[in-house]
Amino acid sequence: MNDAGNSTDDPVLVLDNVTRTFREGGNQLDVLNGVQASVKPGEIVALVGPSGSGKTTLLQVAGLLDRPDKGDVWIGGAACGKMTDRERTQTRRQRIGFVYQFHHLLPDFSALENVVLPQRIAGRGISQSEAHAKDLLGRLGLEERLNHRPGKLSGGERQRVAIARGVANNPDVLLGDEPTGNLDQRTADTVFQALLDLVREHNVSALIATHNAELAQRMDRTLVVHDGKLIPE
């Protein structure tokens, strides 16, 4: 039991009856329709489903970048629906990491700086942030690329920097939206394995959308988006 009275086995992320509806040109699109899911500490869960089924929408809601129309998201035992935008931003910074299909690195900053920056924003000191960033980038095989800007890195290298950035603040949960979807099969394979190794080593939980069945199989379990709900595979 920790201070909040939670057991260490309590889920780090819960989606409780999450509904998300979009309205476009008079049409109503029920993308998520009562999603139930939970991710336990250290668990790595694959999120699969055809294009347009709602994976990105679900990850945006889970990552507090979007609010559900109904239901709630719980992170680290706290209900996020009632939080102010400021509290949600704080929760996102402290507890959630993201890795997207396209790296979204800051183009004018080096690989090292891109991994240092979120740590500084979270309040970590400069030397500690740099040491941690070097360690993470080194584990991902980028020790010779610390001072390269994203424009001078290969696609696989950029994604590895994005992965280091995603775990830099030791999030409770890492959300991945096709993190290797933009890479050739071989590079995707090694970069994805590096991501899994890093996540497991840091005991971070993860929910990762992928179209690649082989990658999904390397995770602990799979959830399929089907008719706006999540079903285990």
Ligand X SMILES: Nc1ncnc2c1ncn2[C@@H]1O[C@H](COP(=O)(O)OP(=O)(O)OP(=O)(O)O)[C@@H](O)[C@H]1O
Residues that bind Mg ion (CB under 5 A): 55-56
Contact 76, 11 (CB under 8 A): no
| Both structure tokens of 6 | 């939670």
Phi/psi-derived region of residue 111, left when phi > 0, alpha when psi is between -120 and 50, beta in every other case = alpha
User: Minimal distance in Å, beta carbon 230 to ligand X?
Assistant: 12
> CB of 229: closest distance to Mg ion in angstroms?
17
Contact 67, 61 (CB under 8 A): yes
Whether 77 contacts 4, CB under 8 Å: yes
Site for ligand X in 43-62 (CB under 6 A): 49, 51-57
Greatest CA separation for the chain = 54
Report how many residues bind ligand X under the rule CB under 6 A.
Answer: 12
Q: Are 41 and 69 in contact (CB under 8 A)?
A: no
Complex with Mg ion: residue 142 or 183, whichever CB lies closer = 183
Q: Which residues contact 94 (CB under 8 A, 6 or more apart)?
A: 122, 169, 171
29 binds, among ligand X, Mg ion, none (CB under 5 to 8 A by kind): ligand X
Q: Are the CB atoms for 185 and 150 separated by under 8 Å?
A: no
Of Mg ion, ligand X, none, which one sits near residue 166, judging by CB under 5 to 8 A according to partner kind?
A: none
Does 233 engage in binding with ligand X (CB under 6 A)? Answer: no
Nearer to Mg ion, 115 or 175 (CB): 175
* CB 176, CB 219: distance < 8 Å: no
Q: Which is nearer to ligand X, 31 or 162 (CB)?
A: 31
Residue 123 touches which of Mg ion, ligand X, none (CB < 5 to 8 A by kind)? Answer: none
Question: Does 29 sit near ligand X (CB under 6 A)?
Answer: yes
In angstroms, give the least distance from the CB of 56 to ligand X: 3
- Radius of gyration for the chain, computed over Cα atoms and rounded to the nearest angstrom: 18
Q: Which does 57 bind (CB under 5 to 8 A by kind): Mg ion, ligand X, none?
A: ligand X
Minimum CB separation from Mg ion for residue 24, in Å? Answer: 17
In the complex, minimum distance from the CB of residue 47 to Mg ion, in angstroms, rounded to a whole number: 10
Q: Which residues neighbour 27 within 8 Å (Cβ) at sequence distance 6 or greater?
A: none
The site partner of 197 among Mg ion, ligand X, none (C-beta below 5 to 8 Å per kind) is none
Minimum CB–partner distance for residue 177 and Mg ion (Å): 6
Q: Using CA atoms, how far apart are residues 92 and 171, in angstroms rounded to an integer?
A: 9
Residues that bind ligand X (CB under 6 A): 22, 24, 29, 31, 49, 51-57
